[in-house]
């Protein structure tokens, strides 16, 4: 079961900067989640798989941040999203963000419009495939090796804060799963 957005906002989470992501989901022969693959030439999080989102603007509600960023990054208008709940906030360890994920139901078959300065590709991945692709991997980032939970689907590897958010989503869609 998802948590109410107000409940998620009240949860304590480590992180000096607040950000929000939209976890868009749709039904088409099973439940799918929508991710972006960031451009490889970006200074931060280059080539990583993530949910649409970003840093909160001054005076902005976090749910509005998630909807605004999804609109800017992939062309998803806020009125095309039915926010059905939230997931617990997730900290980032290196960049010191507190990420607030909001889950929104969208219609299948949306025609994505990518912000090409940031997003290379939109990925619509079935949750069952992601669940089956769970594992722990040894990754190396900035010369530092570490073991981390990952999800793989279609040759794409999801790790870090996005994997932790996905793990929460999968556990709430089916509490017996990872």
pLDDT of res. 135:
93
Cα–Cα dist 3/5, whole Å: 6
CATH number at residue 101: 3.90.79.10
Q: Is residue 159 part of a domain?
A: no
pLDDT of res. 5:
87
Q: Domain range spanning residue 57?
A: 5-126
Q: How many CB atoms lie within 10 A of CB 97?
A: 24
Domain count, the chain: 1
Average pLDDT over residues 42-69: 88
Residues 23-53 pLDDT 10s: 999 999 999 999 999 877 766 665 689 999 9
pTM: 0.90
pLDDT band at 108 (very low <50, low <70, confident <90, very high): very high
128 burial via Cβ count (<10 Å: 0-12, 13-18, 19+): middle
Average pLDDT of the residues of the chain? 90
Q: Is residue 175 part of a domain?
A: no
Q: Is residue 25 part of a domain?
A: yes
Q: Is residue 168 part of a domain?
A: no
């Amino acid at each position: 079961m998802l948590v109410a957005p107000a409940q998620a906002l009240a949860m304590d989470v480590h992180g000096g900067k607040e950000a929000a992501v939209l976890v868009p989901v749709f039904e088409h022969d099973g439940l799918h989640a929508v991710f972006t693959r960031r451009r490889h030439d970006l200074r931060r999080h280059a080539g990583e798989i993530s949910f649409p989102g970003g840093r909160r603007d001054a005076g902005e509600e976090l749910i509005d941040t998630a909807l605004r960023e999804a609109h800017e990054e992939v062309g998803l208008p806020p009125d095309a999203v039915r926010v059905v709940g939230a997931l617990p906030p997730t900290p980032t360890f290196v960049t010191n963000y507190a990420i607030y994920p909001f889950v929104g139901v969208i219609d299948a078959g949306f025609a994505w419009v990518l912000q090409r300065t940031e997003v290379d590709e939109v990925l619509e991945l079935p949750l069952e495939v992601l669940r089956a692709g769970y594992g722990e991997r040894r990754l190396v980032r900035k010369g530092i090796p570490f073991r981390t939970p990952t999800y793989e689907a279609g040759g794409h590897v999801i790790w870090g804060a996005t994997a932790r958010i996905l793990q929460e989503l999968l556990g709430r869609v089916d509490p017996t799963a990872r």
